[in-house]
Amino acid sequence: MSCETEVLTIGSKLDKIIGGSKPADDAVELLDALGRLPITLEVLTSTQIGKKLNEFRKKTADEKLAKLAKNLIKEWKNLIDKKELNEKMPRNDSTSSNLSAKGKEIAKEKDTKKPEKPPVPVPSSSSGTFPPKHLLSDDVRNKSAQMILNALRYTDLPDGTLDPESLAVDIEQSLYDVHKGTNDKYKAGLRSRVFNLRDKKNTALRENVLTGVIKPKKLAIMTSEEMASDEIRQQREKFNHEAINEYQMATQQGTPSDMFKCGKCKKNNCTYTQLQTRSSDEPMTTFVFCLECGNRWKFC
């Protein structure tokens, strides 16, 4: 695949991210790929990737991604500035033709030794690249491992951290083994784990994985409930508790009373039930059911 074709493909994916039809997490991989490609001025002109990347930079809420996009745009702008400078500089054909053979040889040697321009670095807190020893032969699995690594390196690493690159490969391998291939369940499991590892309200999961408390094989089979933060688990328990109380209130006949006036039909033909829904030292919750219109309400 040519450089221009790859850039066009990446541009199309960026359009989907900007439009909201593709997850923003994929942007890290796309920007990293753009940084590695040997993009020329001709490719910039034909693909208009600069405009798309600038639009993404303005719309993204991730400061690290915005900074990475800005660095790429700055690098490409240097290509344009360099071309304009070369066009403005007058050429001295007589001087060029008088270069000695030795001078030409020195110039050629310098060009040979001139180091290749390194790709734009991706901040270590938001992504990373595998050294050759960790590269996977399968493109899909390699991208999956890269997404896991990016999630593990999303922010500062805790003390006692294991090698994030090895962990990413082991987690991907465990997911692959559990789902027996790169099928839809594999992809759903990957997205779920990347989301939870990057969740700012669930830092404990990421730290436990990085420090070895949660092994890759264990992470691969954990449910969404098991990966959730303590706050989310408490909310779920609260909702379950309330649902049970609502069910108990609905199944119990209740005590008939005319003390309560229905706010819907304005009648006093009701039953009520009292349950302890909070701690024992708190007042009980009263559940009222209107026998006329079926309206329900509660109060403490």
CATH number, domain at 269?
Answer: 2.20.25.10
**Any domain includes 242:** yes
Give the model's pLDDT for residue 179: 93
Dump pLDDT digits (tens) for 126-169: 444 444 344 466 888 989 999 999 999 888 888 888 999 999 99
Packing angle between helix 139-152 and helix 203-210, nearest 10 degrees? 110
More confident residue, 99 or 269: 269
Report the percent of the chain where pLDDT is more than 90. Answer: 21
Q: How many domains does the chain have?
A: 3
Pairing of strands 296-299, 255-257: unpaired
Q: In what order do the strands lie in the sheet with 285-290?
A: 255-257, 270-275, 285-290, 296-299
* Pair (86, 8) in one structural domain: yes
Tell me the pTM. 0.39
Q: Is residue 154 part of a domain?
A: yes
Exposed/middle/buried for 1, CB within 10 Å: 0-12, 13-18, 19+? exposed
The pLDDT of residue 107 is above 80: no
Whether the Cβ atoms of residue 256 and residue 226 lie closer than 8 Å to each other: no
* Range with top average pLDDT, 14-28, 45-59, 85-99, 183-197: 183-197
Q: Is 150 helix (H, G, I), strand (E, B) or coil?
A: helix
Which domain, by its residues, includes 56?
3-113
pLDDT tens-digit series, residues 180-228:
999 999 999 999 899 989 888 888 888 999 999 999 999 999 988 888 7
Q: What is the CATH number of the domain that holds 96?
A: 1.20.930.10
